[in-house]
Amino acid sequence: MKSLSKPSRSLTKLWCLSWDERWLLLSVFLVLAAYKGLLVFLPFSRFMTTDRISTTQKNSTTQKKPLSDEYINKQIWAVRVISGWIPLGFTCLVQALGAKWLLKSHPDIRVCVGVCNSKTEGFSAHAWLTYQNRIILCEQTDQVFEPILAWT
């Protein structure tokens, strides 16, 4: 009986949200679903961007004002909500890539990929998102991952 009441509570929560929040959740769902589908068909290397501009050119041409904490928090909230609602969820890589796209490739947003190899847990990989050197999405507190790849 408990499991039958859960969807109605979720729908009630959904209807209590503003139209802007519902629209945000829908757009985040579409972005995450697109990335999940693209990762099936395209190699991972296609999602990484390479910096071919020198540092001096980059500083003068791509200066963007910092994102507001409220804007970042709303986007990250939506990614977490949608990832929690989907039965199989979205992987950490899909969440990080989707959130990076939602935050419009701001130069301070970085996607990081790391690995962990322990005797008890075995080999595992993880992706997370950082903003100004702090993890804002997909933080893992139970394992320590050695970063092997990061890009803006």
Helix H or strand E encompassing 95: helix 92-102
Query: Considering just the CA atoms, what is the radius of gyration of the chain in Å?
Result: 17
Q: Pairing relation of β-strands 146-151 and 134-137? A: unpaired
In a domain, 6, yes or no: no
In a domain, 7, yes or no: no
Work out how many domains the chain is built from and give that number.
1
Q: Which domain holds residue 103?
A: 15-58+66-151
Q: How far is it, in rounded angstroms, from Cα 77 to Cα 71?
A: 10
At residue 133 the predicted structure's pLDDT band, cuts being 50, 70 and 90, is: confident
Q: How far is it, in rounded angstroms, from Cα 113 to Cα 92?
A: 10
Q: Dihedral sign, CA of 124, 125, 129, 131?
A: positive
pLDDT tens by residue, 39-55: 888 887 777 654 433 34
Q: Which residues contact 111 (CB under 8 A, 6 or more apart)?
A: 96, 97, 100, 127, 128, 129, 150, 151, 152
In a domain, 25, yes or no: yes
In a domain, 118, yes or no: yes
Closest by CA position to 77, among listed 4, 141, 18, 150: 18
Write out the two tokens for 103. Answer: 């935050």
pLDDT tens by residue, 58-94: 444 455 667 788 888 899 999 999 988 887 778 889 9
pLDDT tens by residue, 104-129: 867 788 889 999 887 777 888 889 89
In a domain, 144, yes or no: yes
In a domain, 4, yes or no: no
Specify the pTM.
0.76
